[in-house]
Amino acid sequence: MSVDKVQTLIFDTFGTLVDWRTSIIDDLSRWGSKNAVVVDWVAFTDEWKTAYRPGMDAVNSGKRVWVPVRQIYREKLDEILPQYGLGDISENDRDFINEVWYRLNAWPDTVPGLERLANKYVLSSFSNSDFLGMALMSKHASLPFDAIITAENVRKFKPDPSMYEMAVDLMGQGDPERVMLVAAHNYDLAHARKHGMATAFIARPTEYGSDQETDLRAEQDWDIVVDSAEQLAQELGC
């Protein structure tokens, strides 16, 4: 597919632009040291993340009414805290831990790449996050977005079709060829392509750590395949 008509780049954010796993492990390790709490934060983070897809699937299937992803994570957090000896921590500490999703750091190539891309394209998030959470995280990570799109806009999560339809309507004024999805996840790009959008894959083979088994490489002939946001900027002439 030609990318000549593309005016807006929409970005999956968690994993694609920010290194959520390392950020959470490091952040909570600092909190643990400050509060004399010894926890295997790697195991904690990996177990906490397991709530993500089942929680969203329950909403998308209609088994559960809409709840933002922050609530899905908070419910899982409250469930696992006792397993790590943290069942008695205060409500303030629980809020602080849950809000670690707003304190994520960008991959080293992200901000330089996005700053170059911003000279030519409109940049927007395209995330399963809630709206305020994405705004806070973007500010923390210095992501130069012109707009924010999240699941909260349609009260459904990716890969529900309404997410991609919304992106085309809002960022392409109904023309999918004016929009390119940039993501590190093949499933996301597959749904974007199904809705007529251009696609760009950024490889993040350590998003889930050194033992990652999925999304190690592009699984289809996406329009652009790169290893960094800076390489994407180069490919798009920025």
* CATH number, residue 228: 3.40.50.1000
Provide CB contacts within 8 A for 131, sequence distance 6+.
148, 150, 152, 153
Could you tell me where the beta strands, DSSP code E, fall in the chain? 8-11, 122-125, 179-183, 198-202, 224-226
**Structural domains counted in the chain:** 2
CATH code of 38's domain: 1.10.150.240
- List pLDDT tens digits, range 131-184: 999 999 999 999 999 999 999 999 999 999 999 999 999 999 999 999 999 999
Average pLDDT (211-221) is 94
Q: Indicate if 70 and 14 belong to the same structural domain.
A: no
Looking at the structure, do residues 25 and 75 belong to the same domain, yes or no? yes
Contact 141, 106 (CB under 8 A): yes
Indicate if the pLDDT at residue 91 is higher than 90: yes
Please check whether residues 14 and 132 belong to one and the same domain. yes
- Regarding whether 116 and 13 lie in a shared domain, the answer is yes
Question: Which of 78, 102, 126 is the endpoint of a domain?
Answer: 102
With bands split at pLDDT 50, 70 and 90, how would you rate the model's confidence at 2?
confident
Residues 120 and 228 in one domain: yes
Share of the chain above pLDDT 70, in %: 100
Domain boundary among 102, 136, 152: 102
In a domain, 2, yes or no: no
Selection from 60, 82, 84 nearest residue 72 by Cα: 60
Residue 1 lies in a domain: no
**Letter for the amino acid at 204?**
R
Phi, psi of 236 (to 5 degrees): -95, 10
Same domain? For 89 and 110 the reply is no
Establish if 14 belongs to a structural domain.
Answer: yes
**Is 129 contained in some domain?**
yes
Per-residue pLDDT of 59-75, as tens digits, reads 999 999 999 999 999 99
pLDDT, tens digit, for every residue of 179-209?
999 999 999 999 999 999 999 999 999 999 9
Range of the domain at 199: 8-19+104-235
Q: Which pTM does this prediction carry? A: 0.95
Does 203 share its domain with 110? Answer: yes
Together in a domain, 79 and 13: no
Q: Of 79, 102, 125, which residue sits at a domain end?
A: 102
